Amino acid sequence: MRWLGYVAAFCVLVFLIYASTIVVMAFVEPIRINDPNNASYYKAKNRILQFDPEFGFINRKKYSFVRDVKFRSHAVNFAVHYDKNGYRVDQPDITADVNVDVLICGESSAWGYGLNNEKTVGPQLERIADIKVLNVSVPGGTGGSCLAQFMRAAELGRAKYAVYYFWQEHLASNKSPCANTGTPACFPLNHIRKKPNGSLYLDVVEASEAVGYDRFNRFFLQARTDGDSEGTFLTDIYWKHRSTVLRAQDYMRKRIEAMPDEREANVYLVETMRDAVLQHGITLIVMYVPFYFEGRIAKTPGWVVPGLNLSAVPSFSLEAPFRQAVAENKTFWFVDDSHLNEEGHALIARSLARWGAEHGFWRLRPSL
């Protein structure tokens, strides 16, 4: 029966190896995912963002990929090419000109989700107005991240105008990424917080928060991509990645506790953005983008554009052009999704081009 002893010894050895691996990974894995300088972390499949200690999340530099996403009634397939600075270009091995007339920054719709670069708002705007445009948008971006992107672009090159794509969801997420009820997680982005004495300040995300919570959001986004629209993935994530979930919940609690008033936070952010870009000789323009899901156009809050005008910031809303497009039975968004399609980017390009020409910022091309 000596063989039984060998089998038992072998089983014990396998168990010890397995247990020791778990113990080691318990220490190694948290270090790896919290290290923003760990190159392997950012080279994962389809990683389109990377963390910059000065500017927070930026688009991944010198990188190309094809994204294929399926929804209930449609699918999108598009190519993304980033140049050496992390800006979208039409094809690999091209570098975007950083000396331009106009910078544009917003979230994934402004970035051009679902579209090749030549169909997005920047190139379309250049075909209508006599200007050069650089789109510095970051997927998931808010006003706080756009402020950082404008400052980064100002350090890399020159511009005359900075157009902030003020997506309606930013009203909440600018005061806290945890205020966004569209997702169960916080986006780790720069945003406005309130000090105990009531004063406001721009809170810049730290490296450990950026990596840890980006990881949590990747689980969420991947589950959505895989068709888990019911959100049942949360149960699996909780049991497989309890520490990440608990840290995300703690992050939410701290951010929500420090949330300022919505109007107060957004006006403060816009004024901060205005003053920051003005130091580089850049004029800030705010373009408010209301909700437009399935043709239901949200009304622009009465204080938004007038309130920002009181802060000496040129601003306008796309509510009227959106309503006119719906009245003409035009679908300018992807079905089952809230991202703009090619017609949506053309609509914004036309509206912005004409508004800017009417206010003397630039001229339209002769064809118009």
Q: What is the pLDDT of residues 266-305, one digit of tens each?
A: 888 898 899 999 999 999 999 999 988 767 888 888 888 8
Distance CA 74, CA 76 (A): 7
pLDDT above 70 (res 1): no
Among 13-22, 192-201, 227-236, name the one with the lowest average pLDDT: 227-236
Q: Do 168 and 291 touch, CB atoms closer than 8 A?
A: yes
Q: Do 70 and 336 touch, CB atoms closer than 8 A?
A: no
Distance CA 341, CA 308 (A): 28
- In this predicted model, which residue has the larger pLDDT, 131 or 268? 131
* 3-class secondary structure, 78: strand
Q: Which residues pair with 65 in a beta bridge?
A: 80
Average pLDDT over every residue of 98-104:
98
**pLDDT band at residue 243 using 50, 70 and 90 as cut-offs:** low
Mean pLDDT, all residues of the chain? 75
**pLDDT band at residue 77 using 50, 70 and 90 as cut-offs:** confident
Distance CA 339, CA 119 (A): 13
H-only helix segments in 34-77: 39-42
Contacts of 239 (CB under 8 A, 6+ apart): none
pLDDT above 80 (res 93): yes
**pLDDT band at residue 343 using 50, 70 and 90 as cut-offs:** very high
Task: Give the class (CATH, top level) of 52-358.
Answer: alpha beta
User: Rounded to a whole number, what is the largest CA-CA distance in the chain?
Assistant: 96
**pLDDT band at residue 16 using 50, 70 and 90 as cut-offs:** low
> What would the pLDDT profile of 210-221 be if each residue is shown by its tens digit?
444 455 455 444
Distance CA 305, CA 299 (A): 12
The pTM of the full predicted model, rounded to 2 decimals, is 0.75
Distance CA 347, CA 340 (A): 10
By C-alpha distance, which of 142, 147, 137 is closest to 167? 142
Among 5-19, 55-69, 195-209, 283-297, name the one with the lowest average pLDDT: 5-19
At residue 104, the pLDDT reads 98
> What would the pLDDT profile of 153-204 be if each residue is shown by its tens digit?
999 999 999 999 999 888 877 776 555 434 444 454 566 767 777 777 776 6
At residue 176, the pLDDT reads 65
At residue 306, the pLDDT reads 74
